[in-house]
Amino acid sequence: MKKLVVIGAGMATGRALEHLFETEPGAWDVTLFNAEPRGNYNRIMLSPVLSGEKTYEEIVTHDADWYEAHGVTCRFGEKVASVDRDRKVVIAENGDEVAYDKLLFGTGSNPFIIPLPGHDLDGVIAYRDLEDTYRMMETAGTPGAKAVVIGGGLLGLEAAAGLRMRGMEVCVVHLMGHLMDRQLDEAAGYLLRKALTDRGIEIRCSTNSKQILGENGKVRALELDDGTEIPCDLLVMAVGIRPNVKLAQECGLAVGRAIHVDDQMVTSDPDVLAVGECVEHNGAIFGLVAPLYDQAKVVAKTLTGEHDSFVQREVSTKLKVTGCDLFSAGDFADGEGREDIVFRDPARGVYKRIVIEDNKVVGAVMYGDTSDGNWFFGLIKDGTDIADMRENLIFGPAFQGGTPLDPLAAVAALPRDAEICGCNGVCKGQIEDAIAAGATDLGGIRATTKASASCGTCTGLVEQVLAVTLGDDFVMPASQSICACTDMTHEDVRRMIKSQKLTSMAAVFQECGWKTSCGCHVCRPALNFYLLADWPLEYQDDPQSRFINERKHANIQKDGTFSVVPRMWGGITTPQELRAIADAAEKYSVPTVKVTGGQRIDLLGVKGEDLPSIWYDLNQAGMVSGYAYSKGLRTVKTCVGTDHCRFGTQDSTGLGIKLEKTLHGSWTPHKLKLAVSGCPRNCAEATCKDIGVVCVDSGYQISIGGAAGMDVRETTLLAQVATEEEAIDLIKAVTQCYREHAKYLDRIYKWMDKVGLDWIQDQVVNDLESRQAHVYRFELSQSIYRKDPWAEHAKKPEKYQPLADLTLEAAE
Amino acid sequence: MMDTVLDAPTRTFIEVTEVWVPKDGRLVLANGNYGALDDFAAVSGQESFGPGEGLPGKAWAEARPVVLKGFEGSYFKRTDAAKAAGLTSAVAIPVFAGDILKAVLVVLCGDDKNRTGAIEVWAENDGLLMLSDGYYGAARHFEWVSQHTHFPRGQGLPGGVWASNTPILMRDLGSGYRFIRAESAGTAGLTTGLGMPIPVPGSKTFVLTLLSARGTPIARRFEIWDARKAKVGHAREAVLIDGICAREGPLWSGETEKERRVDAWQGPVGKALGSGLPVVESGTPALAAGYESMVALPIWHGPELAHIVAWYC
């Protein structure tokens, strides 16, 4: 009998032995070493064992009877100390030597442990084998126990779901921006996150761990790099695996990232084969089961002297969490020449995306409906030309019955308690009830529920509820959607963002049924503004969704250079500031220096590469970005007021400075210009600004909705207040109201025409509580956004000899 | 393999299973498995229930699963016949497709000091699942603890079913139940549980669990079939996603194995799939693994038949 020694009783070697015994029963004398004290079990089913949905006995692939029946000498719980390839013996830990004719490495992989401080504390484990699983089950047995899982990949999420089923409070900490980032795109990652959050699992993405904290040698909490501590009794690291190649390396086999094998699974030694997660084939390493089984087949053929070759093939991914249906295969990264087809059904939580290149499907991601997954997988594997079926491709093989894209799906999916009219607090259910009671048009709904009867921005949504409820009996008035990615209007989407608490771009795309995977240049800037205005703490500003001027923090000019405008609070400057501006203008050879209409100085013609340096210099002189490029506060123009002017009634300059300092950095739907005039002579031209203040003897007249651009408009009086403090509060409140309700790229006057001055007055003038609430929300947002963007990007100009006196250098 | 499959039970936990379907505004008996209780079967065959009448009518009218323990003096209409047959408790499970009642499945159990198991109805209350009611046979202590247990979303069998809106078959009842089992050491362990969502019109959430004990298992084979379009596409078929059998072992398919599927009207599960109604079969030679009786219960998500759970004795 030929002697075969196998190192590692995993799924790959187990399958290889099955094939071998089928082909040549009784021909091989097999000795099987395994470091784990047991034989082959279906390791990928450990997650259901953890959750309680399977037992260990159920996932055993080869039991003692099987090994006995095939005459396998089992050396379980024994590690191999070394391999002497010259003498062709394997040396066990206890010194036993086992001779081989053929040796098969199946040493698998080791979990990667991030070397965070505290990683060796008791209670910090990986998730790899039955011992880890039992350890988790045991910890979960303590009522109130908490777990942290580092890693939001396949294994980490399965561990989290299992631990949650066991009754633990679970938090998943993931470094990347969305879950399962290697298998899913952002949209599918969003749906998965939602499903897991729904089962009580806390998910933190884009989160970095700093250290693991312990107490008496046992894990106590995970500390994140922002200082947050997440308490835990168990910390599971599921951040990836590394091929286990130590033994192979020590015995001199060729090893790269893993053990090198050829197409026949033979290593650099013709009598030594390798299979599974420990091998490297044509530069690739393997973690999923399908290619491992293909390798196992080839191993058996090679051992029996038949010819077969291992061919790498596409793999697909599924997640073993009951109720989470996802499918992912191929490559779905954006790229030149690639297009995608997207289908979303917000009501069913379905997202499907097919990526096409050269008329072939190269990638597929699905969430919620995976029935066609294998069909798409087949198209990818076979490289099928899909030119002829492109039209209906997304609906799968049974496309005739495919659900057509329903423009009303997002509204149909809203629960009854979703708030449609924010002004009057009217929910979808109340509107449905009103329709059931006989209201069949917008007027009827307004009369009975007051929905859309105030600011009117929810009109579109109310009409859609009517359409969904009444069906063909309601004729939808035509409305302008944001862009071709959606059928919803700006107002609809804003209402959805508020009422459904949508706090990410991916959430908006899915819940509003976007027809593209990640929006376009039209909708993204609008959504970016809506999200940061409504969810300043939850949402992170996305620079990629901004126009170039906002991304560059400078206005691009027609020759590709930029203009730089430092802020001059209230139009007041100092000799030092002027000197610094002059120095900068000379140092960076600024061709044009201009005084703007907003009472500040514009440096025109700055080269893109000089921007960080010029910002640095201006920052050093105490100046910050004037946001002259932004859809946000531009300037507060002032006159000299009581300090110098004999007509002045109040300190208009002082108020202007305070307003500019309060409002700067705040993003608004469009640019926002203010002015404060010290008397009705109105030298600061306050009555053609977005918000103008005219000081009078009895206080401050605050008016809004002026413009002096393509449209010229005079402001309308919003209110007169007695004190400066009240004036500032009112301006903050009306700014916030504008931020919360206006359509992106509407100046205040356009917004005011839509919602009416009365409504604005109801929000911020007449109702003091409401005014204060607006002020509070404005300040909350400003706690994030009241900052100088230059400072984050400013760089000391190294090319100008960093150690020298910069002002002297510039003066030369 | 698992606790339920160790030894043959002397008597089954559920003695009678019947399916009532609406016809002309009343519920009439469609089929049933009465075992040897012929007299009770005869009485039942003549009965019908309007909305609110008797146990099936109550489940219909109130649109919720109803547990009834003790028939004497209750709204139960067949008290005398049940008493004669030794039946003391019953659970009525309405099968709704959206707002439409398709059927009411009624299971009846006998009182027996030796029979342990549980049929529980969990209802959502303030964001937690609380025990609405349950029948526990001899497991009195277990009943008491269950009354004082609640499950958040995602935790334990009821919380897992609630969060995933999917039937789940558990071999090791962890959260909550683990404590109960430890307390009930010495008595028969309740290890295997089948949990399923019971959708009803409106926004209420109900979860039904069948917890099986060694010795007096509720069933000796459990199956969960997925029939959602999202899983099987437009074909009218269902795929076996989990199951366990005393005779055949685990019934699930590994990642690289072929799944087991049934077409509509193919076998009793296919019949439930085709008709959308619960199916009760007994004495049919064609039942899986040679079992004598089986129940297949369809679970709808709105207008779509989503899952079928089946249990065999």
Chain A neighbors of B229, CB-CB under 8 A: 369, 371
What's the CA gap between A482 and A308, in Å, rounded? 57
Give residue B87's pLDDT: 92
Which of A289, A350, A396 lies closest to B256 in CB terms? A289
Contact partners, residue A198, CB within 8 Å, separation at least 6: B153, B154, B163
Measure in Å the smallest separation between the Cα of B47 and chain A Cα atoms: 37
Q: Cβ of B172 and A323 within 8 Å? A: no
**Average pLDDT, integer, range A276-289:** 94
Supply the mean pLDDT for chain A: 91
**Average pLDDT, integer, range A211-221:** 97
CA neighbor of A675 nearest in space, from A650, A656, A658: A656
What's the CA gap between B181 and B179, in Å, rounded? 5
Helix (H) or strand (E) holding A720: strand A716-721
Which of A55, A140, A141 lies closest to B2 in CB terms? A55
What's the CA gap between B166 and B301, in Å, rounded? 10
Q: Is B148 exposed, middle or buried (0-12, 13-18, 19+ CB in 10 A)?
A: exposed
Q: Name the one residue in this structure whose structure tokens are 């039991």.
A: A63
The ipTM value here is 0.90
Domains of chain A: 2-108+243-303 (3.50.50.60), 124-239 (3.50.50.60), 325-401 (3.30.390.30), 409-537 (1.10.10.1100), 549-620 (3.90.480.10), 633-787 (3.30.413.10)
Which of 229-248 (B) contact A at CB < 8 A? 229-235, 242, 244
Chain A neighbors of B176, CB-CB under 8 A: 167
DSSP-assigned beta bridge partners for residue B312: B221, B294
Residue ranges per domain, chain B?
Answer: 3-312
- Three-state DSSP class for residue A700: strand
Q: Cβ of A53 and B242 within 8 Å? A: yes
Mutation target to probe the A interface, by most A beta carbons within 10 A, among B150, B165, B178 is B178
Q: Could you read off the pLDDT of B188-238 as tens digits, one per residue?
A: 567 789 999 999 998 899 999 999 877 778 888 999 999 998 888 877 899
- The size of the A-B interface in CB pairs under 8 A is 111
The yes-or-no verdict on residue A802 having pLDDT over 50 is no
Q: Cβ of B230 and A44 within 8 Å? A: no
Which of B163, B171, B256 lies closest to A199 in CB terms? B163
- Record the pTM: 0.84
Chain A neighbors of B258, CB-CB under 8 A: none
What's the CA gap between A513 and A519, in Å, rounded? 11
DSSP-assigned beta bridge partners for residue A235: A124, A148
A677 within 8 A of A655, measured Cβ to Cβ: no
**Average pLDDT, integer, range A781-808:** 70
Q: Which residue of B has its CA nearest to A315?
A: B256
In this prediction, residue A407 has a pLDDT band, given cuts at 50, 70 and 90, of: low
Give residue B213's pLDDT: 78
- Quick one: tokens of B150? 């609640």
The yes-or-no verdict on residue A811 having pLDDT over 80 is no
The single-letter code of the amino acid at A679 is C
Name the CA dihedral angle for A300, A303, A305, A309, rounded to a multiple of 10 degrees: 50
The yes-or-no verdict on residue B5 having pLDDT over 60 is no
Q: Which of A572-586, B65-79, B167-181 has the lowest mean pLDDT?
A: B167-181
Q: Name the one residue in this structure whose structure tokens are 């490559």.
A: A331
Q: Which residue of B has its CA nearest to A163?
A: B155
The yes-or-no verdict on residue A381 having pLDDT over 60 is yes
**Average pLDDT, integer, range B275-297:** 89
Give residue A224's pLDDT: 97
Chain A neighbors of B231, CB-CB under 8 A: 325, 370-371
- Quick one: tokens of A621? 């002189």
In this prediction, residue A399 has a pLDDT band, given cuts at 50, 70 and 90, of: low
Q: Cβ of A323 and B164 within 8 Å? A: yes
Q: Is A457 exposed, middle or buried (0-12, 13-18, 19+ CB in 10 A)?
A: buried
A15 within 8 A of B133, measured Cβ to Cβ: no
Q: Could you read off the pLDDT of A514-558 as tens digits, one per residue?
A: 999 899 999 999 999 999 999 999 999 998 899 888 888 888 888
**Average pLDDT, integer, range A178-186:** 93
Give residue B9's pLDDT: 46
Give the phi and the psi of residue A637 in degrees, each rounded to 5. -80, 140
Q: Could you read off the pLDDT of B26-57 as tens digits, one per residue?
A: 999 999 999 989 999 999 999 999 999 999 99
Q: Could you read off the pLDDT of A67-89 as tens digits, one per residue?
A: 999 999 999 999 999 999 999 99
Q: What percent of chain A has pLDDT over 70?
A: 97
Which of B152, B176, B254 lies closest to A200 in CB terms? B152
What's the CA gap between A259 and A248, in Å, rounded? 7
Give residue B161's pLDDT: 96
- Percent helix, strand and coil across chain B, each rounded to 5? 20, 40, 35
Q: Cβ of A324 and B172 within 8 Å? A: no
Which of A57, A289, A318 lies closest to B1 in CB terms? A57
Q: Could you read off the pLDDT of A588-638 as tens digits, one per residue?
A: 999 999 999 999 999 999 999 999 999 999 999 999 999 999 999 999 999
What's the CA gap between B293 and A459, in Å, rounded? 58
Other CB atoms within 10 Å distance of the CB of residue A70: 17
In this prediction, residue B185 has a pLDDT band, given cuts at 50, 70 and 90, of: very low
The yes-or-no verdict on residue A803 having pLDDT over 70 is no
B175 touches chain A (CB under 8 A): yes
Measure in Å the smallest separation between the Cα of B232 and chain A Cα atoms: 5
The yes-or-no verdict on residue B276 having pLDDT over 70 is yes
What's the CA gap between B44 and A654, in Å, rounded? 90
A459-470 helix and A442-449 helix, angle to the nearest 10 degrees? 110
In this prediction, residue A473 has a pLDDT band, given cuts at 50, 70 and 90, of: confident
The yes-or-no verdict on residue A226 having pLDDT over 70 is yes
